């Protein structure tokens, strides 16, 4: 099941971004949302999923993701575990989670993320979509990396290396770092529920 985009065509309309080509708008919303989620390292919006973690002697095991809200089940080597509680996005069990030398497999089903995407993230996605639309209007011009151009005594300069933006949907490193810090990056969902 694919996650819903982080912004909608209504969000694009509110920013006066042309949505007359709905197929293009939908494709760019999906692409921009996937890029932002990848940069954030989490879904941002609410998703329920199942992950597998190693237990061990520690009493608290952090759950990856952002805004961990609910844990619906914990299996310890396939059997239901009930003597735990959720505390600060971590599973806490006073007796610990097993032996460090032969840690049990914990299978956790939980919900992380928020119901409504933060406004600044919606705006980021819309900005990426707008850039993608301009690129599509240009027919995906292959002259990527042009940083400056002059007409008299014609001159053109290109950006290369780490600073080069290959496509308008590519997040700059500064934006990726900001998303990772803000959302704590790193959830790995192995199964989603509708």
pLDDT tens-digit map of 145-168: 566 666 777 766 666 555 545 466
**pLDDT, greater one: 168 or 11:** 11
CB-CB contact of 59 with 93 (8 Å)? yes
User: Is the pTM above the cut of 0.85?
Assistant: no
| CA gap 148, 157 in Å, rounded | 5
Beta bridge partners, 85, equal 92
Domain that holds residue 132: 9-43+119-183
Instruction: State the chain's maximal CA–CA distance in angstroms.
Output: 76
Same domain, 172 and 127: yes
- Is 52 in the same domain as 14? no
If asked whether residues 82 and 175 sit together in one domain, one would say no
Evaluate whether residue 193 is within a structural domain. no
User: Mean pLDDT highest for which of 14-18, 53-57, 142-146?
Assistant: 14-18
In a domain, residue 4? The reply is: no
Q: Does residue 79 carry a pLDDT above 70? A: yes
Within this chain, do residues 124 and 179 fall inside the same structural domain, yes or no? Answer: yes
Residues with Cβ within 8 Å of 56's Cβ and at least 6 positions away in sequence, in order, are 96, 97, 98, 99, 100, 103
Count: domains in the chain: 2
Q: Is residue 190 one of the residues assigned to a domain?
A: no
Mean pLDDT of the 75-79 span: 94
Who's near 111: CB < 8 A, 6+ residues apart?
A: 46, 47, 48, 68, 69, 70, 72
- Average pLDDT over the chain, rounded to whole? 84
> Is residue 130 domain-shared with residue 173, that is, in the same domain?
yes
């Amino acid at each position: 099941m694919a996650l819903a985009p982080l912004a909608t065509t209504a969000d694009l309309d509110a920013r006066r971004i042309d949505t007359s080509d709905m197929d293009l708008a939908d494709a760019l919303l999906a692409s921009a949302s996937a890029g932002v989620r990848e940069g954030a390292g989490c879904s941002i919006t609410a998703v329920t999923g199942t992950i597998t973690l190693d237990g061990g002697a520690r009493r608290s095991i952090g759950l990856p993701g952002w805004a961990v809200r609910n844990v619906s089940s914990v299996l310890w080597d396939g059997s239901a575990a009930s003597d735990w509680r959720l505390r600060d996005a971590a599973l806490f069990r006073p007796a610990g989670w097993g032996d460090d030398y032969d840690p049990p497999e914990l299978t956790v089903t939980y919900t992380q993320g928020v119901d409504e995407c933060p406004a600044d993230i919606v705006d980021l996605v819309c900005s990426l979509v707008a850039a993608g639309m301009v690129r599509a209007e240009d027919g995906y011009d292959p002259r990527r990396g042009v940083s400056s151009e002059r007409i008299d005594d014609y001159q053109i300069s290109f950006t290369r290396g780490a600073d080069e933006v290959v496509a308008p949907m590519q997040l700059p490193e500064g934006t990726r770092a900001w998303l990772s810090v803000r959302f704590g990056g790193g959830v790995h969902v192995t199964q989603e529920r509708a």
